[in-house]
Structure 1
């Protein structure tokens, strides 16, 4: 399985990343790509400031990808997460999964994204349009609740 994990300040080319996985193996039957963007939160935000622990973030992402690969037959996974100041409309995160079958690619991408949101060491600070100082964003209970669904799905693993 081909794995690419990158935590970087610069933007990424989603199409190029999908092409790299598509061309990696003739066994690929389905590719799922998810790209998370910085949203305006109803016009309140101008940007997000994202920080991480270098080395620790990549290690935790690799553990999440390894866990996904024990559950589903995957030919390739790419995870790119940006840090720094990211303006509204810019890309933050990319998860690409490739598998012989579409369902596995979809499930693995959802699983990886759910665990990135709750377990990867990233912190976000909102920059408001009106310039009001803002605190770091608290974790959402809904993200933790969403992650729990994977604990109930043990019958769908490949092993």
Structure 2
């Protein structure tokens, strides 16, 4: 399930929704991303996340579908917030549910790695020195690229022009 929303989320409630009545689940793996209050030596006072409605959800659904193709998953949840957030606020929740811990852990790592590089979100930080757009980091791309598998010469990640 994909949710792109302005409002906060409750991690415990989301876990409960995913597991209630689902006895095939052997484990959940999760990642919660938070707004930091610093970047190097600079203090961050707030962060505004923007997204492209429609495109964002479509890309997140592609990533979810690829995770489901790679691992045996009972459920997947990706919640990503947008709007103005303060240090300590939750930004993103990724939860994967599987009969097996390995599939849950690996798929969760896969999803957060690709979210950092493929999801169309833009971050504007309010810093003590002024506003700054957050640029993509090379190390995030390197981390995400380790998940590429070559099949018939094509990466497993669906291309933006292919429907799922």
The question of a shared fold, defined as TM-score above 0.5 by the shorter chain, is answered with: yes
Which residue in 2 is equivalent to 1:53?
A: 52
Q: Show the counterpart of 2:31.
A: 34
Deviation at 1:135, TM superposition (A): 2.6
CA distance in 2, matches of 1:91, 1:24: 27
1:18 and 1:33 in contact (8 A); partners too? no
The answer to whether structure 1 residue 22 and structure 2 residue 19 are counterparts is: yes
Taking the aligned partners of 1:39 and 1:20, their CA distance within structure 2 comes to: 28
Name 1:127's counterpart in structure 2. 126
Contact 2:47 2:123 in 1 (8 A): yes
In structure 2, relative to structure 1, the CA distance for the partners of 1:39 and 1:66 (3 Å cut) is same
Higher helix share: 1
What are the superposed Cα offsets for residues 88-116 of structure 1, whole Å, 9 maximum, x if unpaired?
Answer: 00000000100000010000000011111
Number of aligned residue pairs: 149
Deviant stretches of 4+, over 4 Å: none
Gap change, CA 1:153 and 1:38, over 3 Å in 2 = farther
Task: Give the distance between the partners of 1:25 and 1:94, measured in 2 at CA.
Answer: 20
State the distance in 2 between where 1:123 and 1:51 align. Answer: 5
> How far apart, CA to CA, are the structure 1 residues paired with 2:136 and 2:47?
15
Residue 157 of structure 1: aligned partner: none
2:4 aligned with 1:7? yes
Return the alpha-carbon distance in structure 2 between the equivalents of residues 108 and 153 of structure 1: 18
CA RMSD of aligned residues (A): 1.5
